[in-house]
Amino acid sequence: MTLRLLTLMLALVATPVFAGTTATRDMPIGLWQNPKGTLRVRTMACGDALCGAIAAATPVAEADARDAGIDKLVGIELLKDYRKIGLDRWAGTVYVPDMGHSFSSRIQRLAPDTLKISGCLIGGFLCKSQIWKRVSTPRRDRARRSGCSGIAAGWSRPRCWRSRFSGLPRSAGCSPRSGSRKCGPHCTRYPTDRSASPLR
């Protein structure tokens, strides 16, 4: 009886943790652009919720914001506390800078690179929606997401790094020979941009 009770308690404690981890992994995280191309919003996980802040704005968007009493758009949290409510759907609050108000909102992921953002005035009525597109990323970011090597992504040669636990310099004996696609023994291939290496 004691063993069964302990197993049940562990299951009850562990379930929310795994559920939260899965929900976070499934979030539409990245850099997105509104239909007019006047705003770019970077979405991220804020605890168990999805949020998003303005990463870039055109002069036109900045001017509209100033008319509403906002001096600077970049850095403002536009999407707040979005919680998953179904498959590829989240509910939260969207802030509209040029109106100076927040509205109840929903996000629907139509495709991996397409989001539908809806905002409603009162109780789900008088709603408007926009289609946001994921912003094209540099080749090294595409390669990182797909697991490609530097050469596969279009670089002339990959940068190779040795394990930090080897006691040797990171690049010692790792560089591929001319015309080769293979790094040295016990080395890992990364994009040519040093900042992309997780060993930093």
pLDDT tens for 156-178 read 444 565 554 444 555 555 565 55
Both structure tokens of 166: 């080897």
Strand partners, 80: 93
Question: 144 and 115, same structural domain?
Answer: no
- The verdict on 183 and 115 lying in the same domain is no
Q: Considering the domain boundaries, does residue 3 fall inside one?
A: no
The set of residues, in sequence order, having a beta carbon less than 8 Å from that of 85 and lying 6+ positions away, is 91, 106
**CA-based nearest residue to 161, from 179, 187, 138, 181:** 187
State whether residue 165 is helix, strand or coil: coil
Cα of 17 vs its chain's centroid, Å? 21
Last residue of a domain, one of 134, 154, 169: 134
Scanning the chain, the segments in alpha helix (DSSP H) are 2-25, 59-67, 139-146
In a domain, 64, yes or no: yes
What is the value of pTM for the model shown? Answer: 0.59
Pair (24, 121) in one structural domain:
yes
Residues 163 and 64 in one domain: no
Is 114 found in the same domain as 177? no
Looking at the fold, whether 105 and 148 belong to one and the same domain comes out as: no
- Residue 168: give the domain boundaries: 137-200
Q: Which helix (H) or strand (E) holds 159?
A: strand 159-162
Residue 57 has pLDDT above 80, yes or no: yes
Same domain, 63 and 142: no
Q: Residue 121 falls within a domain, yes or no?
A: yes
Look up residue 166 and give its DSSP letter.
Answer: S
Tell me if 162 sits within 8 A of 172, measured CB to CB: yes
Q: Can you tell me the mean pLDDT for 97-104?
A: 88
Q: Does 16 map to a domain?
A: yes
- Residues 83, 147, single domain; the answer is no
Domain co-membership, 150 together with 52: no
Q: What is the mean pLDDT of residues 186-199?
A: 45
Residue 4, domain member (yes or no): no
Tell me the average pLDDT of the chain: 73
Who wins on pLDDT, 183 or 81?
81
Token readout for 119 is 């905002």
Rounded to whole angstroms, the Cα distance separating 25 from 29 reads: 9
Q: Are residues 96 and 127 in the same domain?
A: yes
Q: Does some domain include residue 171?
A: yes
pLDDT in tens, 1-46: 454 544 444 344 444 443 445 567 789 999 999 999 999 999 999 9
Instruction: Say which residue the tokens 């007019």 belong to.
Output: 36
Q: Where residue 125 falls among pLDDT bands split at 50, 70, 90?
A: confident
Q: How many domains does the chain have?
A: 2
One domain for residues 113 and 171:
no
